[in-house]
Structure 1
């Protein structure tokens, strides 16, 4: 994923946490906030409660790939932060993809 599509700085994350809306389902929590840019940026936060570094990086890679493949469906001009819950470790790639699309749908972030 290109750098322009990522949230990187702590200040950017804080703005979304403090001023954004949050949505959740069984597997994920999503924070969204409108930005003044033309593209939607993504940030991932995975706590140590989820697992060790190998497990967290696996989940991070999966979420980034799912987001990349569905980027064309997401509305432009928002900052998104995705936080996986503990039970994400036990689910398959397809279930994780379904959970991410579901949470984007209930938040109104999908086009059309």
Structure 2
């Protein structure tokens, strides 16, 4: 798993990439030049406390780890948690997040 780390990498995707959204999440994505899959995970402080934010990031990472083989090569993807995910994080199951992200990535035409 290659991660996006630098602020300028995130800003480039936010400003010139495309986006797709679901009930719990929003993704920004952009085709990259080096044929690598790179990802970043963002959960705002407005979403909840540290426990909530860390749980949502863990759910995103687990989803990406399980579905990485289905994602097309050459994309930079930023997973962003929405406020609705933060409000329901105690009852939010991995299956709910998976269903939502499958829909989002299918709409974005990022799956193989």
Fold conserved between structures, TM > 0.5:
yes
Question: Deviations 1:55-76 (Å, cap 9, x if unpaired)?
Answer: 1011101110111100000000
* Matches for 1:7-86 after TM superposition, within 5 Å: 7-86=4-83
**SS class of match (2:46):** coil
**SS class of match (1:49):** helix
Give RMSD over aligned pairs. 1.0
Q: Which of 1, 6, 21 is matched with 2:3 structurally? A: 6
Runs of 5+ in structure 1 lacking a partner? Answer: none
Query: C-alpha distance in 1, partners of 2:56/2:34?
Result: 27
Q: Which residue of structure 1 aligns with residue 105 of structure 2?
A: 104
**SS class of match (1:70):** helix
Moved over 6 A (4+): none
Deviation at 1:23, TM superposition (A): 0.9
Query: C-alpha distance in 2, partners of 1:100/1:39?
Result: 20
Query: C-alpha distance in 2, partners of 1:92/1:69?
Result: 15
CA contact (8 A) 2:38 2:75 kept: yes
TM-score by length of 2: 0.92
- Larger mean CA deviation between 59-68 and 80-89 belongs to 80-89
Question: Deviations 1:23-62 (Å, cap 9, x if unpaired)?
Answer: 1111111111111122210111111111111110111011
**SS class of match (1:110):** coil
Alignment pair present for 1:92 and 2:58: no
